[in-house]
Amino acid sequence: MPESMNFSFMQLNLPLLIPMCISLLGGIVLLGVGIFSKTKSRELYIAISMLFVILNLGFLILEGNPTRQFGFFNLLLVDGYSLLVQFIILISTFIILLFLMHKNTLEETQHAEFYALLLFAIAGFGFMVSSENLILILLGLECASLSLYTLIALHNKAQAFEAAIKYFVMGALATALYAFGALLLYATTGSIEISHIALFLDKESSKFSFLVLAGFIFLFCALGFKISIVPFHTWGPDVYEGSNSLLAAFIAIAPKIATLGVLIRILGVFTQSHNPFVEYTLYAFVVLTISVPNLIALVQKDVKRMLAYSSISHSGFVLGAILINAPEIVFLYWFFFIFANLGAFGILWLSIDCKDTNNDSHTFESLSGLIKTNPTLAILLTLFMFALGGIPPFCVFWGKMYLMQSVLSADYVYLAVIMAINSILAAFYYLKVIIYVFAKEPRDAIPHRASLETSSIFALGITTIVSIGCIFMVQNLLDIIANYIGSGGF
């Protein structure tokens, strides 16, 4: 047999598949339990989901190696970026499952398929960030997206169906743009591997052709849909409003950090070329995505829609870190953002979703007088609003401070000024929530002090501790992120 035909299973590097396989196995087990179990128990489904999430986290912590490792004939690539993205998604999912354990009667949370689809989405995101092959990235993205479309529709409300259809249509358009962009890059460079495209562009930097720039635009627009940058953000607020609060929190975190992980790989190829067109295009998108959602959020009457526009603006801040080629700031910022965001959506879940299943309203008025009906949730919601607003010394402040410092170091002075102005502007709509919580009278005639279950207390405890105690972990966390990126970065 010729030497080129020799094959060994060691070349496949099967251990690289373990994180994704754990999530897929968990989803299959949940579907089996849902079909064959006579007792339909929401607590059982959540326990099984948490078991597989913890197993996945344990594997990443104990066996995770940030050095670049290839498998399956170089289709799979597991490095620091991949591990950090998966870790953030799994931590977020763990906290969401803790909140879901709080007693509720929402129809979709009572069935095994809800939790199975959640695990399938995690597996899809895992494949998406564990490759530099444009086709495998697309397959992982679509696996996760199809799960999310179904999860939204399971809410079984008119708004949910509308949101799912809108998300599906916009997602299909994004897929078409992505495929066309990949086609143009393949036609120009002869490869769909990001590293090979980078080598080609490095050699042909003086011939940065129209087809390459067109491929960049199509890919960027397609991935821009997933992180809802302006002007591809229109689906976001409707999807948040049509989902239950915890699913909205998952959509605000998981798809975006996975897409940002891919953008770091892809945009790194173009930003390192220092092509003026690429830099000015990214600069314009960053400014628009930071500024426009902030202005729209000021006039919102629904808290979830306000948080949707808020998360779009935060995506713009993180995109700015990619513009200046500071991937460690991307993960630092998003790590702190997830805890403040999960805390805010978790309180919406506990105070509204679990209280009245016939009420889809998350207006500011629904939080009126929360300090009188549930002082604990009112104080914690205030804390999370301060954190999301970047008020020192809470968590997101440190992400913004390190980001602006890096932006200034890269000589983007005007961008740093725009970020500072928008940070001040955002404080107004976060303070609006606090005014309703403390200064308005409760809508209910008789105050209802709902008791919190142990799981909810644990979830709120985790989010609160990180939001407040982040000052003691910023530098250590940044060192860990830098180590992962330095060992396995692109």
User: Does residue 357 carry a pLDDT above 50?
Assistant: no
Residue 107's SS3 state is helix
Q: Which two tokens stand for residue 426?
A: 């955002």
Question: Is the overall model pTM greater than 0.85, yes or no?
Answer: yes
Q: Which amino acid is at 140?
A: G
- β-partners of residue 133 are 193
By the 8 A CB rule, do 321 and 405 touch? Answer: no
Convert the pLDDT of each residue in 203-234 to its tens digit.
765 456 788 888 888 999 999 888 888 888 88
Task: Using alpha carbons, select from 272, 181, 225 the residue that is nearest to residue 490.
Answer: 272
Q: Is 390 exposed, middle or buried (0-12, 13-18, 19+ CB in 10 A)?
A: buried
pLDDT at 490: 36
Q: What is the structure's pLDDT at 453?
A: 77
Question: What Cα–Cα distance (Å) separates residue 415 from each residue in 84, 88, 277, 422?
Answer: 27, 27, 17, 11
DSSP type of residue 39: S
Q: For residue 378, how far is the Cα from the chain centroid?
A: 26
Distance CA 116, CA 48 (A): 10
How many Cβ atoms are within 10 Å of 131's Cβ, its own excluded? 27
Tokens of 271: 């930003």
Q: Is the pLDDT of residue 1 over 50?
A: no
Share of the chain above pLDDT 90, in %: 31
What pLDDT does residue 446 have? 47
For residue 488, what pLDDT is reported? 47
**pLDDT, position 51:** 94
Q: Mind listing the pLDDT tens digit for each residue in 105-133? A: 677 788 888 899 999 999 999 999 988 88
**Distance, CA of 66 to CA of 490 (rounded, Å):** 12
Task: Kindly state the tokens that stand for 180.
Answer: 């066309």
pLDDT on residue 450: 55
pLDDT at 270: 78
pLDDT exceeds 80 at position 181: yes
Mean pLDDT across 147-161: 81
Listed ranges 193-197, 236-240, 241-245, 248-252; the one with the highest mean pLDDT = 248-252
The pLDDT of 425-440, averaged and rounded, is 89
Tell me what the mean pLDDT of segment 343-371 comes to.
Answer: 77
Q: What is the mean pLDDT of residues 280-300?
A: 91
Confidence grade of residue 6 (pLDDT, cut at 50, 70, 90):
low
pLDDT at 5 over 70: no
Amino acid occupying residue 451: S
Section 240-262 average pLDDT: 89
Pull the structure tokens for residue 343. 């805390």
Q: How confident is the model at residue 286 (pLDDT cuts 50, 70, 90)?
A: very high
Q: Which of 100-109, 164-173, 234-243, 322-331 has the lowest mean pLDDT?
A: 100-109
- Rounded to an integer, what distance in angstroms lies between the CA atom of residue 143 and that of residue 139? 6
Residue 61 pLDDT greater than 80, yes or no: yes
Per-residue model confidence (pLDDT) at position 42:
82
Residue 297, pLDDT > 70, answer yes
> Do 488 and 481 touch, CB atoms closer than 8 A?
no
The pLDDT of residue 3 is 47
Residue 259 and residue 227: Cα distance in Å, rounded?
7
In this predicted model, which residue has the larger pLDDT, 82 or 354?
82
Whole-angstrom distance, CA of residue 324 vs CA of residue 365 = 41
Of residues 36 and 396, the one with the higher pLDDT is 396
Residue 486, pLDDT > 80, answer: no
Q: How do residues 14-43 score in pLDDT, each as one tens digit?
A: 778 888 899 999 999 998 988 887 777 888
The yes-or-no verdict on residue 52 having pLDDT over 90 is: yes
138 vs 127: CA distance, rounded Å? 9
* Cα separation, 56 vs 52, whole angstroms: 6
pLDDT, averaged across the chain: 85
More confident call, 27 vs 454: 27
